Amino acid sequence: MTNWLGLLISVIYIVLIISISVFCYKKKKFSLEDSRKFVHVGMCNWWLIAMIFFDQWIYACILPLLFVIINFINLKTDKIPGIERKGKDKTFGTVWYAIAMLILAFVLFRYPDYQYIGAIAILILGYGDGIGGLVSEYIGRHKFPIPHKTAEGSFTVFIISFIIAAALLEALAMTDMTITYAFFIACFATITELFSVGGIDNFTVPLFTALCTFLLMTEPTFLKFGIAFSITGIIVFVSMLNGLLTYGGGFAAMVLGTAVFYLNGPVVFWALILFFVTSAMLEHYHKKPKKDKVKDIRDVIENGLPCLLFGIMYYATGSEIALVCEMTAIAGVTADTWSSGLGYFSKEKVRSILTWKPIPKGESGGVTRLGMAGAVFGALFIALFSSVLGGDNIIPRFAIVFFFGVFTSLLDSLFGILLQVKYYDEKEGVILEKKPKSMKGIRKVSGYDFITNGMVNFLTSMIAALLAGMVAFLV
**pLDDT digit of tens for each residue in the chain (475 aa)?**
689 999 999 999 999 999 999 889 888 888 888 888 888 889 999 999 999 999 899 999 999 999 899 888 888 887 888 787 777 777 888 899 999 999 999 999 999 899 999 999 999 999 998 898 888 888 878 888 888 889 999 999 999 999 999 999 999 878 888 999 999 999 999 999 999 988 899 999 999 999 999 999 999 889 999 999 999 999 999 999 888 889 999 999 999 999 999 999 999 999 999 888 888 877 766 666 666 668 888 889 989 999 999 999 999 998 999 999 999 999 999 999 898 888 777 788 878 787 777 777 666 777 888 889 999 999 999 999 888 887 778 899 999 999 999 999 999 888 888 888 777 666 665 666 666 666 666 766 666 777 888 888 899 999 999 999 999 998 7
Q: Which of 163, 187, 219 delimits the end of a domain?
A: 219
Nearest to 425 by CA among 437, 408, 411: 437
Q: Is residue 252 part of a domain?
A: no
Task: List Cβ neighbours of 185 (8 Å cut-off, separation of 6 or more).
Answer: 120, 124, 161, 162, 165, 209, 212, 213, 216
Query: What is the C-alpha to C-alpha distance for residues 322 and 316, in angstroms, rounded to an integer?
Result: 10
pTM exceeds cut of 0.75 = yes
- Angle in degrees, CA 372, 454, 416, rounded to 5: 50
pLDDT of residue 30: 85
Contact 436, 442 (CB under 8 A): yes
> How many domains is the chain partitioned into structurally?
2
Q: Which of 219, 246, 274 is the last residue of a domain?
A: 219
Crossing angle of helices 394-418 and 320-343, in 10° steps, is: 50
Instruction: For residues 184 and 318, state if they share a domain.
Output: no
- Does residue 346 fall inside a structural domain? no
What CA–CA distance (Å, rounded) separates 304 from 308? 6
Domain boundary among 152, 187, 219: 219
CA distance 111 to 32: 38
Residues 298 and 403 grouped into a single domain: yes
Pairing mode, if any, of strands 422-425 and 442-446?
Answer: antiparallel
Which pLDDT does position 440 carry in this prediction? 66
**Phi-psi region at 436: left, alpha or beta (left = phi > 0; alpha = psi -120 to 50):** beta
Q: Are residues 66 and 150 in the same domain?
A: yes
For strands 430-432 and 366-367, give the pairing.
Answer: unpaired
Give backbone dihedrals phi and psi of 6, rounded to 5 degrees, phi first: -60, -40
- Look at residue 367 in the predicted model and tell me its pLDDT: 82
Same domain, 215 and 293: no
Query: Are 37 and 182 found together in one domain?
Result: yes
Instruction: Report the alpha-carbon distance of residue 440 to residue 428 in Å, rounded.
Output: 12
DSSP string for residues in 55-85: -SHHHHHHHHHHHHHHHHHHHHH--STTSS-
Tell whether 172 and 316 lie within a shared domain: no
215 assigned to some structural domain: yes
Residue 190 phi/psi, 5° resolution? -65, -45
The reply to whether 208 and 293 lie within a common domain is: no
* 8 sits in which H/E element: helix 2-26
Residues spanned by the domain of 203 = 2-219
